[in-house]
Structure 1
């Protein structure tokens, strides 16, 4: 089979990106495949093309509702009509219609939580599944940076579906995480297609600043100077909105904010405006970027300190998908990492919260008894994320309180271990920020890759000119300033007056 001709037939593309053809070939040879391909290399094509060529339904597990919706919309815009996402955006009636017509869909996107439902599993068991895809597969490993407890049941789900041909996709996973993914899914005889995390066309730069005022001023300068389009990442939804409004006013550029607290309609609108070139810059939280298929993003700035190397690489990887030179800039003020530490400490329940829960539970015999009287009040003591992780780990439903309390002891130990890993991740990121040697070599070394080749657009420690990333207007102004400066120096040397009359 000539895969290039099929690529052109279905997607009007003339060539594959790195790793795509190898992974697709393995799947067409019915080999389970683990593909680690850098952000921006078109991972979705790796299941879409074989999905069109293999018999049966393609099930795609996706971790985020927004990502799922984006991928479905993109496929529909590209002419694929037999695609659906089974998620909470569907009404009960719409979901029932999808279940009735499930055999008509070639591509079915679903969350790990929903596919674990016995009702939905029984529906899917009736299908001929040609390909079982786990997107963002690093979420499976409890030692990974973005572990989702709901992902750990996917090995069991896969088994119940008859162990279909499986594709695990990720952009960032160390060798030990990849081993964990294979073990969790019970995959044997796996074809691994592993490409470097390095994106050689993205220059890496860290700017050390004295304080918050200087940092804000520098961001304003970069917003004006840099060639767009671009993304600026923040850890705070509120600050993303405030800075978007302020930068828009001061720069005159088309800038808007994007974060998970916005309505679905507003998020889709901003995504479409950015994709269509109606926005120059998006000030965003980490919720923005997944599924954003925009080739010409020229810069990514991190205003706040990233909590781990892996997510940092995913975010900067949204730049330069057209393989043209782009730049990543991290703005750092000493002590910025403290916010990162605060963020990770609120992701998991702390010792006090777990003690309060245990004390509340011990007044009852079963979870159901406790739930009727105390659950609503107790939920107010936990964030949505904290409770979701606790519920997935402890599995409260239908248990005696004694069983739950025993499990809470284990969960408390898990929280301690997990927090230690996250703190270590921040330390890795901090080491990268303070590095005096090649930043790119550090990142590839983190993923245990062979040493990289020398790169003309590498990092600030290897030397490159940030001016090459400035807009043409900035470059012309600098050139004019340099000419003016040269004329003034010459006039001074010749003891002449400088001015228009002498030009």
Structure 2
């Protein structure tokens, strides 16, 4: 059967998007594949469709719980019931049922942390895994913008599963990061499929404002003027909520805040209302967007400065998936770079915290993780965040031979300082991009070592000269009150289907 026939039969599409068919053909030809496809080109189809052609299970490693759930629900909407996410959303009883009946599932989503659990790995070893998928594969590389220590162990987990056919997927990875992915997964003979990161239908516009107050009022003006729907990105949960309330006060009632602090039902409700056109604007942190399948997003506004070009490109890539013109608007005020620097510093343990922690290690013993496991109170006492604590645990787990604790402490500090330098360099590059008087698009392509492309300069960026009026709404009468009542049954059905699926 031709791939287009399978595509239409199971997913209802008649044609593939850029890169999809090439990736699927490579996998079905038995080739390990690393694919870099732009955000919005349907990377998930690259492992969903092969599931109907390959025997055995499709194992998908995903970094975010919300992304896993979105992808599970997406498959279920296509009528696929043999899908499950092994994550913390499952209570003890449900997880036990799933593990006893794992062979019934075709698509198994799992976090890298779950793979480190012997009971999970032993169950997976008993399966016939026909495709090992690493989603958001840039998380593998310590040079990647979203490095996850647990991802660096995926090569070992792949080996434990018998080195099954492997697909590594990412939307934004520099050449150095792609090389890291290949080495970490221990891929020897493989196919690389790399599409341009450029999305020519998304225009870039950066506006510098003098201060916070002007930025706030300018944001309200933009939301009123621009064609909707749209997403506004913030680095603060509190600011996302405050701005959603302020927009409502200004008559933009079809706006809601979305962030990781909301409970599961609230997140699902807001996502579904946005997807189905009941909301026009989402005031979001980076927790929103991954896996959200909405094609007609017309604008992305960045209120706060991201930490790197890669995440910025991921977030604006949620616009214009229908191929129609969209705009990525960036509001910058002097000093905005201080917030991402603070966030970067907060993700890593400070030298003070490291000194404090090492003062508790028994001097006569070798550095080992058992001490941390037996003294979990140290995390809270030392004010370590979950991410900081994971970094320390991962460092101590490494088979490194230190002659003394002082040497180990110095090595950990060096690692942290190196990571912080990478993050600060990324922030500096983004600031230079904001301040530059050169074409925004060409600078982004240069960052990813791509050649400049010929395009419509009237729809390129503020430097090349674009008319904002072409992105304004022709009808601003869309602002109505969202009726939550009409969604109660819908939400109940989603949650019920999830319960039945497990």
Report the Cα offset of residue 94 of structure 1.
Answer: 0.8
Cα contact 2:83–2:105 (8 A) shared by 1: yes
1:174 equivalent in alignment to 2:174 = yes
Cα contact 1:362–1:401 (8 A) shared by 2: no
Give, in whole Å, the separation in 2 of the partners of 1:414 and 1:139: 17
Report the Cα offset of residue 109 of structure 1.
Answer: 0.3
**Aligned residue in 1 for 2:129:** 129
1:356 equivalent in alignment to 2:348 = no
Report the Cα offset of residue 377 of structure 1.
Answer: 4.2
**Aligned residue in 1 for 2:113:** 113
**Aligned residue in 2 for 1:6:** 6
TM-score, length of structure 1 as denominator length: 0.91
Give, in whole Å, the separation in 2 of the partners of 1:28 and 1:407: 46
Query: After alignment, is 116-125 or 62-71 more displaced?
Result: 116-125
Report the Cα offset of residue 147 of structure 1.
Answer: 0.4
**Aligned residue in 1 for 2:390:** 388
1:334 equivalent in alignment to 2:334 = yes
CA separation of 1:351 and 1:106: change in aligned 2, threshold 3 A: same
Write out per-residue CA displacement over residues 211-262 of structure 1, whole angstroms, 9 at most, x where no aligned residue: 1111111001011111100000000110110110011110333011011111
Cα contact 2:83–2:108 (8 A) shared by 1: yes
Cα contact 1:365–1:400 (8 A) shared by 2: no
Query: After alignment, is 406-415 or 293-302 more displaced?
Result: 406-415
Query: After alignment, is 367-376 or 29-38 more displaced?
Result: 367-376
SS of 2:23 mapped into structure 1: helix
**Aligned residue in 2 for 1:252:** 252
Cα contact 1:39–1:317 (8 A) shared by 2: yes
Give, in whole Å, the separation in 1 of the partners of 2:339 and 2:231: 20
CA separation of 1:27 and 1:329: change in aligned 2, threshold 3 A: same
Give, in whole Å, the separation in 1 of the partners of 2:467 and 2:90: 50
Give, in whole Å, the separation in 2 of the partners of 1:373 and 1:11: 50
TM-score, length of structure 2 as denominator length: 0.91
Give, in whole Å, the separation in 2 of the partners of 1:155 and 1:257: 38
Report the Cα offset of residue 51 of structure 1.
Answer: 1.4
Give, in whole Å, the separation in 2 of the partners of 1:180 and 1:317: 24
Cα contact 2:355–2:409 (8 A) shared by 1: no
**Aligned residue in 1 for 2:447:** 446
**Aligned residue in 2 for 1:232:** 232
Write out per-residue CA displacement over residues 451-487 of structure 1, whole angstroms, 9 at most, x where no aligned residue: 2112241001111111111111479xxxxxxxxxxxx
Q: 1:457 aligns with which of 459, 467, 481?
A: 459
Give, in whole Å, the separation in 2 of the partners of 1:405 and 1:243: 48
Write out per-residue CA displacement over residues 117-139 of structure 1, whole angstroms, 9 at most, x where no aligned residue: 22211111111111000000000
Give, in whole Å, the separation in 2 of the partners of 1:350 and 1:325: 44
Give, in whole Å, the separation in 1 of the partners of 2:151 and 2:162: 18
Cα contact 2:307–2:426 (8 A) shared by 1: yes
Give, in whole Å, the separation in 2 of the partners of 1:301 and 1:429: 16
Report the Cα offset of residue 393 of structure 1.
Answer: 2.2
Give, in whole Å, the separation in 2 of the partners of 1:169 and 1:445: 21
SS of 2:330 mapped into structure 1: strand
Give, in whole Å, the separation in 1 of the partners of 2:191 and 2:61: 20
Report the Cα offset of residue 396 of structure 1.
Answer: 8.9
Cα contact 1:365–1:401 (8 A) shared by 2: no
Q: How many residues align?
A: 474
Give, in whole Å, the separation in 2 of the partners of 1:419 and 1:264: 32
Give, in whole Å, the separation in 1 of the partners of 2:447 and 2:169: 19
Write out per-residue CA displacement over residues 120-163 of structure 1, whole angstroms, 9 at most, x where no aligned residue: 11111111111000000000001111100000110000001000
Report the Cα offset of residue 369 of structure 1.
Answer: 8.2
Give, in whole Å, the separation in 2 of the partners of 1:32 and 1:474: 49
CA separation of 1:370 and 1:150: change in aligned 2, threshold 3 A: closer
Report the Cα offset of residue 375 of structure 1.
Answer: 3.2
CA separation of 1:47 and 1:374: change in aligned 2, threshold 3 A: closer
CA separation of 1:265 and 1:404: change in aligned 2, threshold 3 A: farther
Give, in whole Å, the separation in 2 of the partners of 1:326 and 1:374: 52
Cα contact 1:396–1:404 (8 A) shared by 2: no
